[in-house]
């Protein structure tokens, strides 16, 4: 059945679905950078690695890209690059006159400070309606700037500002079900301190950042939900502190050859210290950085000190504590991130600890009630 649809109504309805904004670039046969703005970029296949975008057949920018050859680069724009998006979309010539770019591995324009790039060769072009579907085979790709992306939504530009995220890994489904019961307490904690609360789970020998709420004020690059780290000292102390002796030993052994005998001895004392205090505490001491080294790289981390006295010269990085299931096992760990730029006064650290433990206790109660129902 053929149905005639009003194009304006079609756009209005489809505009309720946000799309990312990308610029597809190439180099013309005369050596000039060319490109077009698209809101239809998508991944297609993992094996082989394929992506797609859908340009209007009548677009002069698309014709220029076709004429340039079989190479192109997709630049995923950041939230602060709306002006670049407009420049490329509006200008007919010299689109890159005021845009900073460098060559991608394949030689196409790579826009500086874009969120990511995907370097491709054309695999196929399909003729569909008033658009083409361009399939690209990925040759190279990387995250350039892990900031928030620029989105097109309801006829205008905006950005994605998540206050709550959860990993989608299939092997985390049981943990994510438990974490859902802690979300109200995470959100409240993040709002109170205007910071970020993250959830870490232990899966085999990996620490997985499973969920997050809020965002730390000092944070430049958002913590990546789904990110995995090896379970090793001094990371994941909460699990070592409340785990079986065998788990503690594995935590120490996984620290590898880089740990000195003195560090190993310190690691052996930390779990009991953390368990007695109820939380793991991470501090940062800013030391003078050598010439040419950024201040962040000149910072020295200090994990779980014996005393919370004499913290002058330090900043509070984070405090972490466990949430238990109905059997008394650590279901996951909550981490409340500090606000950088100020001293870690003992009163400040103690407030963070008190509030975190209060949230963990409430989450433990909610998780315990849920798991008790499952046990019955």
For 344-361, write each residue's pLDDT tens digit.
778 888 999 999 999 999
Tell me if the pTM is above 0.85. no
Check residue 216 and give its pLDDT: 66
Low-confidence ranges of the chain (pLDDT < 50): 170, 220-221, 288-299, 375-376
Give the pLDDT confidence of 300-347 residue by residue, as tens digits. 677 888 888 877 778 888 999 999 988 889 999 999 998 666 667 788
Q: Mean pLDDT across the chain, nearest whole number?
A: 83
pLDDT of residue 326: 86
Q: Say how far apart CA 283 and CA 134 lie, in whole Å.
A: 50
Dihedral angle of Cα 58, 62, 64, 65, to the nearest 10 degrees = -160
Please measure the distance between the N-terminal and C-terminal CA atoms of the chain and give it in whole angstroms. 54
Quote the pLDDT of residue 263.
Answer: 84
Tell me if 7-159 shares its fold with 164-375.
no
Do the Cβ atoms of 120 and 73 come closer than 8 Å?
yes
Fold of 164-375: Beta-Lactamase (3.30.450)
- Would you state the pLDDT for residue 52? 96
Q: Give domain 7-159's CATH architecture.
A: Roll (2.30)
| Predicted local confidence at residue 373, as pLDDT | 53
What residue ranges do the domains of the chain occupy? 7-159, 164-375
In the DSSP assignment, the letter for residue 78 is B
Give the torsion through C-alpha atoms of 143, 225, 267, 282, to 10 deg.
Answer: 90
Strands (E), the chain: 19-20, 22-27, 33-38, 42-45, 50-53, 71-76, 101-103, 109-111, 116-128, 131-143, 150-153, 156-159, 164-166, 196-203, 206-214, 228-230, 280-286, 299-303, 314-324, 330-337
Residue 322 bridge partners (DSSP): 333
The residues, ordered by sequence, that sit 6+ positions from 176 with a Cβ below 8 Å of its Cβ are: 166, 167, 210, 211
């Amino acid at each position: 059945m053929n149905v005639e649809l009003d194009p304006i109504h079609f756009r209005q309805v489809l505009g309720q679905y946000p799309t990312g904004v990308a610029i597809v670039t190439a180099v013309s046969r005369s050596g000039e950078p060319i490109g077009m703005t698209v809101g239809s970029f998508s991944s297609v296949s993992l094996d082989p690695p394929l992506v797609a975008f859908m340009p209007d057949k009548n677009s002069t920018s698309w014709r220029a890209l076709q004429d340039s050859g079989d190479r192109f680069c997709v630049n995923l724009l950041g939230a602060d690059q709306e002006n670049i998006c407009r420049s490329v979309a509006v200008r007919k010539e010299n689109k890159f006159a005021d845009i900073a770019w460098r060559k991608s591995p394949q030689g196409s324009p790579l826009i500086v400070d874009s969120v990511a790039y995907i370097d491709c060769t054309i695999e196929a072009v399909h003729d569909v309606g008033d658009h083409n579907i361009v399939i690209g085979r990925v040759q190279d790709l990387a995250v350039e700037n892990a900031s928030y992306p620029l989105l097109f939504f309801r006829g205008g530009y905006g950005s994605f500002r998540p206050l709550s995220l959860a990993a989608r890994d299939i092997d985390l489904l049981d943990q994510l079900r438990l974490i859902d019961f802690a979300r109200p307490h995470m959100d409240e904690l993040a709002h109170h301190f205007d910071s970020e609360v993250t959830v870490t789970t232990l899966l085999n020998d990996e620490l997985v950042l499973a969920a997050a709420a809020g965002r730390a004020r000092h944070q430049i690059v958002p913590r990546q939900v789904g990110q995995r780290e090896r379970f090793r000292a001094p990371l994941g102390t909460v699990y070592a502190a409340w785990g079986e002796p065998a788990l503690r030993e594995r935590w120490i052994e996984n620290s590898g050859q880089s740990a000195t005998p003195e560090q190993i001895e310190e690691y052996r004392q930390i779990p009991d210290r953390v368990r007695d205090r109820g939380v793991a505490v991470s501090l940062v001491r800013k030391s003078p950085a050598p010439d040419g080294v950024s201040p962040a790289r000149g910072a020295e981390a200090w994990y779980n000190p014996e005393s919370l006295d004499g913290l002058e010269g330090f900043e509070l990085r984070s405090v972490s504590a466990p949430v238990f299931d109905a059997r008394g096992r650590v279901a996951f760990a909550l981490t409340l991130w500090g606000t950088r730029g100020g001293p870690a006064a003992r009163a400040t650290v103690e407030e963070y600890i008190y509030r975190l433990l209060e949230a963990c206790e409430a989450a433990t109660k909610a998780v315990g009630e849920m798991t008790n129902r499952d046990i019955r």
